[in-house]
Homo-oligomer: A and B are copies of this chain.
Amino acid sequence: MKYILKPGIHWLFAFIPIAFFLEQAEASAPLIFFSAALSIVPIARLIGNSTEQLATYTGDAIGGLLNATFGNFPELIIAVIALKAGLHGMVLASLAGAILANLLLAMGASFLMGGIKFHNQDYNVTSIRVYSSMMLIAVISLTIPSGFHILTVEKAAIENENMLNLYLAIVLLTGYVLYLFFMIKTHADFFKSENGGHSEEHEGRWSVARAVITLVIASVMAAVMSEVLVGAAEETGKVLGMSSVFIGVIFLAIVGGAAESISAITMGIKNKMDLSIGIALGSSIQIALFVAPLLVIISMVVGPAQMNLNFPRGLIVALFLSVLLAAMVAGDGRSNWYKGVQLIIVYVIMAMMLYFVPTT
């Protein structure tokens, strides 16, 4: 389903050599940062395409699993690179930002663009309820370690904090695996789109070898460009007078999720609301309940220190309110242009707040 816009973003591959050239030429950090950012968008698309191609060989269950697991692979790669550099704050910011971007910006744009074309757009209410409760659980589980950190910060409880975060990660990953089992196996009917799916899109089928090789190459490319991106991130913040939280929440998050956001919006314009919402909300859930806990565990291996999920209080409140709003706005199974405006307004307001928070 992601082929549609492919011709439109192919040319962004040109930013791969540009970013490298700028880095060698010691150009200013923002130039390097945004070139690397743009180059990751088509790479992310490529990862998405090859995963989908692989999925055509595996049957629905495994295919769904593959899609779900690799769906946020670009975000994961960027985060691991930042983790190795010890930029825990920026990783957390980019995770929170990715959720906000999916919930508010991608879904909002989909509702708005779709709503301009269609008076009302209907979609499956049952799946929305599952997504909403998963998102709320996600927020709760991110609140716990943050609250713990705030409440115990003066008490030198770092060992307890590490243990809590590790066990939390294990519980969340278990919950996520059961969620996939629920979604793919026992209650797949809940997630059926009313428009009949997207079988017509399997026309240009790849061989298994091609899909696997493309996936590997694209992943390596993503890792390399992420290295460039993350390397320039902090300096970019300083040059532009933006906090590293702002860089993480807004820029890193939009870059990592651009391919999926574009898909969600395209589906909205095509009146395939179930797919659109499934991409936007599914991606948020994955980041919170799969990528975030996975990063805690990965950080124990690759990082200089274990990364704990102690999001700053402001981001937790922002996430919580966004999840509530998304649940309320999307909850009745019918969207219109103004619902899109509502979601986008809140995204803009939150971005504004982060922009104005003083760079300390």
Contact = CB atoms under 8 A, between A and B. Distances in A.
Interface of A: 119, 126, 129-130, 132-134, 136-137, 139-141, 143-145, 147-148, 151-152, 155, 157, 160-161, 163-164, 167-168, 171-172, 175, 178-179, 182, 186-187, 313-314, 317, 321, 324-325, 327-329, 331-332, 336-339, 341-342, 345-346, 348-350, 352-353, 356-358, 360
Contact of A342 (B134, B329, B348): B134
Contact of A136 (B119, B129, B147, B324): B324
B342 A133 contact: yes
Contacts of A350: 144
Given A132-B328, A136-B325, A140-B346, 10 more contacts: A136-B321, A137-B345, A139-B321, A140-B349, A141-B346, A147-B317, A148-B353, A182-B336, A186-B338, A187-B338
A109 to B, nearest CB: 15
Contact of A353 (B119, B164, B336): B164
Residue among A161, A178, A357 with most chain B CB within 10 A: A357
B136 A175 contact: no
Contacts of A328: 129, 132-133, 136, 327
Given A137-B345, A182-B338, A358-B152, A352 B171 contact: yes
Nearest to A132: B328
How many copies of the chain does the oligomer comprise? 3
B143 A317 contact: yes
A348 B171 contact: yes
A328 to B, nearest CB: 5
A148 B356 CA distance: 9
7 contacts: A139-B321, A140-B325, A143-B317, A144-B350, A151-B313, A155-B358, A164-B356
Given A171-B349, A353-B144, A155 B329 contact: no
A171 B345 contact: yes
A175 B357 CA distance: 23
A328 B331 CA distance: 10
A325 B160 contact: no
A151 B314 contact: yes
Nearest to A147: B314
A179 B338 CA distance: 7
B167 A341 contact: no
A332 to B, nearest CB: 5
Given A134-B342, A140-B325, A328-B129, A356 B161 contact: yes
Contacts of A160: 356-358
Contacts of A353: 144-145, 147-148, 164
